[in-house]
Structure 1
Amino acid sequence: MSFKIAIIGAGSVGFTKKLFTDLLCVPEFRDIEVALTDISQHNLDMIRAILEKIVEANGFPVKVTADTDRRRALEGAKYIISCVRVGGLEAYADDIRIPLKYGIDQCVGDTICAGGILYGQRNIPVILDFCKDIREVAAPGAKFLNYANPMAMNTWAAIEYGKVDAVGLCHGVQHGAEQIAEILGAKSVSELDYICSGINHQTWFVDLRLNGRKIGKEELVAAFEAHPVFSQQEKLRIDVLKRFGVYSTESNGHLSEYLPWYRKRPEEIARWIDMSDWIHGETGGYLRHSTETRNWFETEFPQFLASAAKPIDPAKRSNEHASHILEALETGRVYRGHFNVKNNGVISNLPADAIIRSPGFVDRFGINMVSGVTLPEACAATCMASINVQRMSVHAAVSGDIDLLKLAMLHDPLVGAVATPEEVWQMVDEMVVAQARWLPQYAHAVPEAKERLAKSSIKTRDWAGAARRNVRSIEELRAEKSALKKAV
């Protein structure tokens, strides 16, 4: 088979390498063209060198191109994959830093909450530019696969305003299933059957079967509490399981900031998180992790390049959805997964316009969702709170309506649990002013926001958060990796 795939934001080097390697695990895909595009020539040069090394080492006729001209990269592409972070780590640092001044402590800040909402405001205008290019220069009927967060907002904008065939992809379901298989003593995750449904990053294991036997709440709680590692790393997640009766797909740190109950009091945060790794609730944990990863890659690039000169092992293909979806669409080999799409009745007790994540099957006819799912009422209630925030955030991002943006922020579960309306209004002004270069739709609102900030009497604080860690140096990272190797 010969067709073209374009990857936007290909400078996300590690993730792009994984997607590319997965694609080449499909025998029919070894004559494709992969067009890389990014705003950073430096990052493009690095990832192109790595991918060309993979192609050379495996002797495949795959064509790899790299171009900062996005439209040129998208010309004739049948599939477009996006993994962009508009504003990079600089804007992301503000997503964490500014809300902390108002007492809002986030672990990730890329889905909803203060950081996720502003991330969406930066991404959505760019996503709509992608969609315009797709409509104008990509292959007719091209499919847009979005990996970038905030997943629901980006996908919502691409479908409602971008008018392209879009699907959002995330790996939370797969990781949650791996945990459950482990605590139940399964030999592999293939012994576990499950249905997950909800919205991205708030999806719920509504039905679980181990070798055909239904697993109930009590058995699942007991298994998690008996596990020596997960019982400590997933305390908040286990508490939600006890109260809701179903397990969430998302990590302790992710889930903690989508709910109004666990991070609103600084003295309570330590009770619910675990500091063994960033993903379990550390303040600004993903920002620290991302910064360290970038610094490590820049320093150790020669080693990454050398490691690319290895034969591809299809048995080690990852569980990221993209390659499996494309394989099903092109070959007809059916793939089952959980996908982010417009609801349209798939989940009976969530709105039709919402972007939901639920089971679907892919074949030559496309992505076919399983309809008629009804969520437990508590799960639907927490999803609805996020959906309302997402809807207002998308519409604000498209219209440049700063008042609607402030209302979206006010209705966010964690923001509303921590900050007063006056604080929310000022925080949004501060974030929009700080990130003005990435928010063209709010250019008209920035001067007045600056004036309000200059006159404000609302006090803020210089706070690092309840559980912050410093970014580690390259030397510290080397020492840690060395110690891990010796331990193994």
Structure 2
Amino acid sequence: MSFKIAIIGAGSVGFTKKLFTDILCVPEFRDIEFALTDISEHNLGMIRAILDRIVEANNLPTRVTATTDRRKALEGARYVISCVRVGGLEAYADDIRIPLKYGIDQCVGDTICAGGILYGQRNIPVILDFCKDIRAVAESGAKFLNYANPMAMNTWAAIEYGKVDTVGLCHGVQHGAAQIAEVLGAKSSKELDYVCSGINHQTWFIELRLNGRPIGKDELVAAFEAHPVYSKQEKLRIDVLKRFGVYSTESNGHLSEYLPWYRKRPDEITRWIDMSDWIHGETGGYLRYSTETRNWFETEYPQFLEAASKPIDPAKRSNEHASHILEALETNRVYRGHFNVRNNGVIANLPQDAIIESPGFVDRFGINMAAGITLPEACAATCMSSINVQRMSVHAAIAGDIDLLKLAVLHDPLVGAVSTPEEVWQMVDEMVVAQAAWLPQYADAVPAAKERLSKSRVKTREWAGAARRSVRSIEELRAEKAALKQAG
């Protein structure tokens, strides 16, 4: 069996390596071609060397190419995987820094809220360029697998405007299910059956069975509150579970910024988060983590390259959806997962045009979603708040409409809980000006935004946030890893 997979943003080295080794765990896929593309020749060179080492160590006929010419990489590809971060860490830093001046404290800022919305504005023009190239030079009917955030906005743009067969993929459901299985005392996540549905990063475990036995709210709350770790790390998620009656897939830090209740007062934020790891709610936590990870990889690259010489172990295949989807499509071995697609009636009480994340099955006939799901009313209401923001954000990005962009940000749940309309208008102007290099659709709006900023009387402040940590040095990271190794 031979076909071509193109990976856009392949310079995301760790994730690309994971996808590559996962896919090569499928015996029929040994003779395929991977075409890597990225705007960074440096990153491409590093990941190409790692993948070549894996191929050599495992004596595989797999072919790997790397080029900064995206169109060339996409030629003849049957599958195109995107894991891009448009603007890199430079733009991402502004997604966190500028909203803080207006009192908006984000942990991640990659889905909605001020940071996620501007992230989408940077991504969508590029996503549409990808789709144009896919239609022009990829294999007819090529499937686009989007891993890049903001998941719903990117997938929405690719489907509605890019006119490419697209599915969005995330691992939040798998992680949430593993937590639930653990607190309930299961030996494996395989003992847990569940229906999880909603929108990306706001997906809800609306039905749970452990070895066939239904699990209700009270039992699940008690199990989480009794857990020695999650009772401290997931305080906000447990509070939502108590009030909504169902558990959310997303981490404490992620969920905190999608809701209007937990991060609106600086003195309240620390009550709901945990600082043992960034993902539990630290201000700008993912930015710090991403910066440290990049620095660590650059410094420790020889060790990563050496590790690539080890044999591929199919037992260590990850639960990322991509390899399993490709296996099902190509071999007809059925796979069940949770996928981001256009709703089209799958979830009865969410809009038809929304990008939902819900259960489906994959076989040679494609991705087949399980329809007829109705979310609990509170879950649907929470999702609707985000969907309205996502829709406006996508439309603003397509039209380059800065007024609609401001309305999208204004309607964001956390932004609306913290900021006045005047503050939102100025904040968006400031973010668009700061990120103009990655926002070509707003080129005509930038001069007027600069003029408004020069005359603005809205007060801001330089604020690090309620729970900020500094980026650690390589020496500090080494010391931490050594301590963990010694303790474990």
Q: TM-score range by the shorter chain?
A: over 0.9
Aligned to 1:48: 48
- C-alpha distance in 2 between matches for 1:62 and 1:159: 31
Distance across 1 between alignment mates of 2:408 and 2:335: 36
How many Å separate the matches in 1 of 2:378 and 2:186?
Answer: 29
Distance 2:35 2:434 in 1: 33
Q: Tell me the equivalent position of 1:22.
A: 22
Task: Write the mapping of 1:228-377 to structure 2, written as runs, cut at 5 A.
Answer: 228-377=228-377
Aligned to 1:190: 190
SS in 1 for 2:367: strand
Three-state SS of the structure 1 residue aligned to 2:106 is coil
1:390 counterpart = 2:387: no
Corresponding residue pairs, total? 488
Q: CA deviation at 1:455?
A: 0.2
Provide the residue aligned with 1:141 in structure 2: 141
Question: Which whole-Å CA distance do the structure 2 matches of 1:60 and 1:463 have between them?
Answer: 53
Q: Please give the secondary structure, in 2, of the residue aligned with 1:323.
A: helix
The match for 1:460 is: 460
Alignment of 1:29-108 (within 5 A): 29-108=29-108
Report the Cα distance in structure 1 between the residues aligned to 2:14 and 2:239, rounded to whole angstroms.
34
| Alpha-carbon distance in structure 2 between the residues aligned to 1:307 and 1:28 | 24
Name the SS for the 2:312 alignment partner.
coil
| Structure 1 gaps, min length 5 | none
State the alpha-carbon separation in 2 of the partners of residues 251 and 87 from structure 1: 25
Offset, 1:88: 0.1
CA distance in 2, matches of 1:478, 1:150: 32
Provide the C-alpha distance between the structure 2 equivalents of 1:432 and 1:129, rounded to a whole number of angstroms: 21
**Structure 1 segments (4+ residues) deviating >2 Å:** none
Structure 2: which amino acid aligns with 1:295?
Answer: N
Report the 3-state secondary structure (helix = DSSP H, G, I; strand = E; otherwise coil) of the residue aligned with 2:14.
helix
* 1:297, distance to aligned residue in structure 2 (A): 0.1
Name the CA distance, whole Å, in 1 between partners of 2:311 and 2:145. 27
Deviation digits for residues 134-161 of structure 1, max 9, x if unmatched?
0000000000000000000000000000
TM normalised by structure 1 equals: 1.00
C-alpha displacement of 1:370: 0.2
Q: Give the share of equivalent positions with the same residue, in percent.
A: 88
> Hey, what's the Cα distance between the residues in 2 that align with 1:148 and 1:210?
32
Query: For residue 43 of structure 2, what is the amino acid of its counterpart?
Result: N
Tell me, yes or no, if structure 1 residue 438 matches structure 2 residue 438. Answer: yes
Question: 2 CA distance for matches of 1:62 and 1:102?
Answer: 51
Residue in 2 that maps onto 1:178:
178
1: distance between equivalents of 2:244 and 2:432? 36
In the alignment, the residues of structure 1 paired with residue 376 and residue 194 of structure 2 have an alpha-carbon distance, to the nearest angstrom, of 15
The amino acid across from 1:41 in the alignment is E
Task: Find the aligned partners of 2:183 and 2:102 in 1 and give their Cα distance.
Answer: 39
| CA deviation profile, 1:64-113 (whole Å, cap 9, x unmatched) | 00000000000000000000000000000000000000000000000000
SS at match of 1:350: coil
How much does 1:401 deviate?
0.2
The whole-number CA distance in structure 1 between the counterparts of 2:94 and 2:207 is 39
CA distance in 1, matches of 2:268, 2:30: 53
Q: Which whole-Å CA distance do the structure 2 matches of 1:295 and 1:397 have between them?
A: 32
Give the distance between the partners of 2:60 and 2:214, measured in 1 at CA.
Answer: 45
Q: 2:160 is matched with which residue? A: 160
Instruction: Tell me, yes or no, if structure 1 residue 11 matches structure 2 residue 11.
Output: yes
Distance 1:103 1:163 in 2: 38
Match of 2:481 in 1: 481
Q: How big is the shift at 1:39?
A: 0.1
How far did residue 166 of structure 1 move?
0.1
Distance 1:455 1:328 in 2: 58
Deviations 1:10-68 (A, max 9, x none): 00000000000000000000000000000000000000000000000000100000000
1:425 equivalenced with 2:429 (yes/no):
no
Match of 1:368, SS state, is strand
Residue by residue over 1:234-265, the C-alpha shift from the partner in whole angstroms, topping out at 9 and shown as x without a partner, is: 00000000000000000000000000000000
Give how far 1:353 is off: 0.1
Aligned equivalents of 2:61, 2:89: Cα separation in 1: 35
Q: Which amino acid aligns with 2:24?
A: L
Shift of 1:438: 0.2
For 1:285, give the aligned amino acid: G
- CA shift, 1:214, in A, is 0.3
Partner secondary structure for residue 166 of structure 1: strand
SS of the residue 2:424 aligns to: helix
Q: TM-score, normalised by structure 2?
A: 1.00
Aligned-residue RMSD, C-alpha: 0.2
| CA–CA separation in structure 2 for the residues paired with 1:26 and 1:213 | 33
Offset of residue 304 of structure 1: 0.2
User: How far apart in 2 are the matches of 1:299 and 1:339?
Assistant: 36
